Amino acid sequence: IEPLSLDEAYLDVTDSVHCHGSATLIAQEIRQTIFNELQLTASAGVAPVKFLAKIASDMNKPNGQFVITPAEVPAFLQTLPLAKIPGVGKVSAAKLEAMGLRTCGDVQKCDLVTLLKRFGKFGRILWERSQGIDERDVNSERLRKSVGVERTMAEDIHHWSECEAIIERLYPELERRLAKVKPDLLIARQGVKLKFDDFQQTTQEHVWPRLNKSDLIATARKTWNERRGGRGVRLVGLHVTLLDPQMERQLVLGL
């Protein structure tokens, strides 16, 4: 398992015997277990390489899964917009389109040397992805950089007291999750996130050495008062940024 974010991860099930080794059935079982235990929906993408699994996971949101078998990869790539490839932003997509490159199929016809001259290292990555090549392994030892919890409300909230009550409920879960990865609770920063009824969101962080509920509540109230602008709030989140191991070592040596 390689965590990507609060609610996303890569799983390598190549050698798994669970569900008779079927990645599709494993994904279905994980999604069903999440729903049974948490009453939350989850989406999944199944593919032979990481970037295609990531793309597939977005195909049938919010509560479905999409499977790309090895045999289906060539046809899938032919019409796949380059903007769907992780790492291809709006600026890169515009430059590619100016060259007449809109899909992976277009890039397959393009000379690698041309891409390298125009985009450097990114040109090679783009060429490889368009061929269905992604040699990155699922890295279960990937350094975790943050820990967070959040809650999406069934109905938007409009009063600070409601927000504060949600933070009071979220905080113990954040504390529990942080203790699993950092028993000493040392952190670099802690912060809050609010998402509004127009789907815009804002975050605010403070440098803080240890998890502190009072500071989180004060930060949330400041954010609520200064950035909400009368809008309803549909999501409240708390998070901490973990200390870089090298920085933590320097701090310990300095004590």
Active site (catalytic) residues: 8
User: Which ranges in the chain belong to alpha helices (H)?
Assistant: 23-38, 50-57, 73-78, 90-98, 104-108, 112-119, 121-130, 160-181, 213-227, 245-254
Alpha carbon 87 to chain centroid, angstroms? 13
How far is Cα 46 from Cα 66, in angstroms, rounded to an integer?
6
Residue type, 158: H
Paired residues of 2 in beta bridges? 10
- Please report where in the chains the tokens 């609770």 appear, as a residue: 185
Q: What are the tokens at 45?
A: 């993408």
Q: Are the C-beta atoms of 185 and 174 separated by less than 8 Å?
A: no
How far is Cα 203 from Cα 184, in angstroms, rounded to an integer?
25
